[in-house]
Structure 1
Amino acid sequence: MPLSDYKGYRLRNRVFIGFLTICILSVVTSAALSFVILRDNAKMVSKTDMQNKSQALMASLDYALSHSQVQTYDIPKVLENEIYEIADINKHDIIIYDLKGNYLLSNKDPNLVEQKKMPANVLNEIRKNGKQYDDKSYDEKLDASIVSSYMVLKNNMLEDIGYIYFPYYHNESAYMEVFKHYFAYIIGVNILIIIFSIWLSWIISNNLTEAIVRFTSMISRINLFDKNLQPIKYYKNDELNALVKAYNKMIAEIADQRERLSYIEKQSAWQEMAKQVAHEVKNPLTPMKLMMQNFERKFDPNDPNITNKVKNLSEIVIGQIDVISRVASAFSQFAQLPEKTDEEISLNKEVRNSLTIFSDENIFVHANHDDIRMKIDKDYLTRIITNLVTNASQAKSDDRKSVINVDLEKIEKRIKITVQDNGVGIPTDKLDRIFDPNFTSKNSGMGIGLTMVKRMVEDYNGTITVVSEVDKGATFTISMPSNL
């Protein structure tokens, strides 16, 4: 996956997850809040309903006892018939106890009343608060929470005359079932909202990142020497529009700067090369001139050794002319590289063939594949390898045996060539200028070998770098596409 696509994919996921997280948190929060509110409301309604029913029951009993001043022992007689009517109207059983907790009266048959005496703990509690005691329990038969209430019965003088027991008075589970049923609807709606949020967040994140990935891809291909840079067409009036405008402005400026830089570089390069060529040509001409002038002053036709002297002079002049010829040839080679003829080759084989001329050197070739294929001009490859190995050979140290390692690697669709030596190394202050056309760290030569190597590598959209440490050696690394 291209780097730009990978970044876009990561950004798309972050936007998608962020948006989805907010949606889910909102839904979960609202669901939790609804749960708490509905649960509390169910409990409150249940409690209110229980209070209303208990008040209705007590109001009916109070009314039945309000006609005379009733005492505890009068209760069975006064409520003998009324208790059945009150129980039927309120649809609840009623059991009445005296102030000691003993059974007095009920709407049920006395034989069916299981609890003939109030529990001691209940009696103590109701005496303590003087109002009401609710006994909560769980009925397995009904599978429900049951509340039984004990309340104080007063006469018309507000004197305590007994205790009222409403068994199985209130079923809280009925209200909770309504709450659960309603909450199930909320959960279903929230699930639909989450599904819609997933779909919407995916669409939004995709639309955003697709535009960013496209822009990133175009920006990543910007090259100062690329003449085919195209402006981005984007018509939406949003934040990305500013990025598009900046990009379009930048490529317009790049085109202008490229023309200016090209002209300046050409002028500067040729000026520097002209100076270097003039210097290299002048070096042999000066001693030739001095030699000719000295020979003219001392010329004696009658000298018996005149023939040998003329011959020596001729050999020296011819040697210097050869030097000038080599300078001219080197300059010609730098000025124009040969025309390329690309063909598919075996890198392993061609590199080994190129190194056969270095028979006296300790050169070792390593490769991560037995047959690395690439498409390149053979002459270009030969000149690249021989130049780098020649430099490595000439940089050998006097105090150790020279070893040169040539590593060949194919990583996906790129070729990596590494030439490493254990020579004298390159000083730090010279590393930045090592590929300059007029720079050399040797005592002879014009310093255009590495410049030509760089030009040939870049001609294949490749790069060449160098790292070095003085007295330990240097490593040149070439990376270029396999073109297959």
Structure 2
Amino acid sequence: MPLSEYKGYRLRNRVFIGFLAICLLSVVTSAVLSFVILRDNAKKQSMTDMQNKSEALMSSLDYALSHTQVQTKEIPEVLDNKIYEIADINKHDIVIYDLQGNYLLSNKDPNLVAQKKIPESVIKAIKKNGKRYDDKSYDNKLNATVISSYMVLKNNMLDDIAYVYFPYYHNESAYMDVFKHYFAYIIGVNLLIVLFGIWLSWIISNNLTDAITRFTSMISKINLFDKDLRPIKYYKNDELNALVKSYNKMISEIADQRERLSYIEKQSAWQEMAKQVAHEVKNPLTPMKLMMQNFERKFDPNDPNIGAKVKGLSEVIIGQIDVISRVANAFSEFAQLPERHDEEITLNKEVRNVLNIFSDENIFVHANHDDIRMKIDRSYLTRIITNLVTNASQARAEGRKSVINVDLEKIEKRIRITVEDNGIGIPADQLDKIFDPNFTSKNSGMGIGLTMVKRMVEDYNGTITVLSTLDKGAIFTISMPSNL
């Protein structure tokens, strides 16, 4: 068995056993929890019943003694017949003792009262608690817990005159009968859950290991120089989806890095050339300009024709010098981007301000939000928009009214700027070179405008792409982070 398959088999078993263990634990936990809940509810209900019965009993006794100021020795006479009525109404036995713990009266036959005197320890406990004392014991004959409640009986002057013994029997095994009654249902339901869990865990573990094996196979084939890397198609929204997204992002970055390396190689060569051109051209500019101005100033002005000739020559030469200076500055600027000064701006407003200079063009701005905020250098943004719109304007087709659409979109934390025209378009063989230094399809210009745009966009970790159809127009799309 191959190592990868063995590991997948082990993972499948671990997932399956984990699901099975959870199901079994669920069965045991639900059974134990049901037992505990039934037991606690039975105990609480028993205590509530005892409390209610004892309060009803004491209320009946207090009412029977409330008509006169009764003393301890008068209790048998006052309650002689009423004690039977009170016991029948409350459906409970009553035993009354004096303050020394001696038997006084009961609804039962005196010979059936087992306890003729309250133990001294119980009397001390009653006095310590002040009002009531509960003594818990177990009756083997009845197989039940007996809670002996001793309560202080007072007369209408609130003087202690006796102790009332109130035996309450609670069969703690009753909740076991209820539990046994429901236990069969609990086991049956949980058994169905276990069987369903076994089936579901087997399906999930198989799908999981199959997906991981497939992903592992694709990841192991990654090669930095392979141009045929394909993304994984996975549509489930789970943890593996994050793995797939990371893989797809990685191969996309690999492709971008390949293009970036190629671009950097070309760019590096052009940078060196730009620096050299700037250095070579700038050196003679100032001396040449001063020399010609000086020659013009010293020339004989008496000659009626010579002055005009010299002045015309001077203007031509100075104009050519200015052209050379502009070329040198452009190449120098290409060699190194200006220092950035990022600030938070409203993209909608800034783009409209930039487009004001194109007053004679049919330019339409669209935005998916009224207030798109981003952080960028204003001069960078101005140069990017100006270059793209200028190119779109210069690409107008003969006999067709030029229309330029500028779309601004904010999608989560990214900004997308699209400049679309209906001009002549870009030939397919030129699309790959459109951002190369010194490449231009126009009769004039130095061909570094789009190169500068791409450099500025990439300086913000963004991308710029172009799509074009001949005689229908071109679409330039910029995507960059909002940096907010």
Instruction: Give the TM-score of the pair, scaled to structure 1.
Output: 0.46
Query: Based on CA coordinates, which of the two structures has the bigger radius of gyration?
Result: 1
Instruction: Give the TM-score of the pair, scaled to structure 2.
Output: 0.46
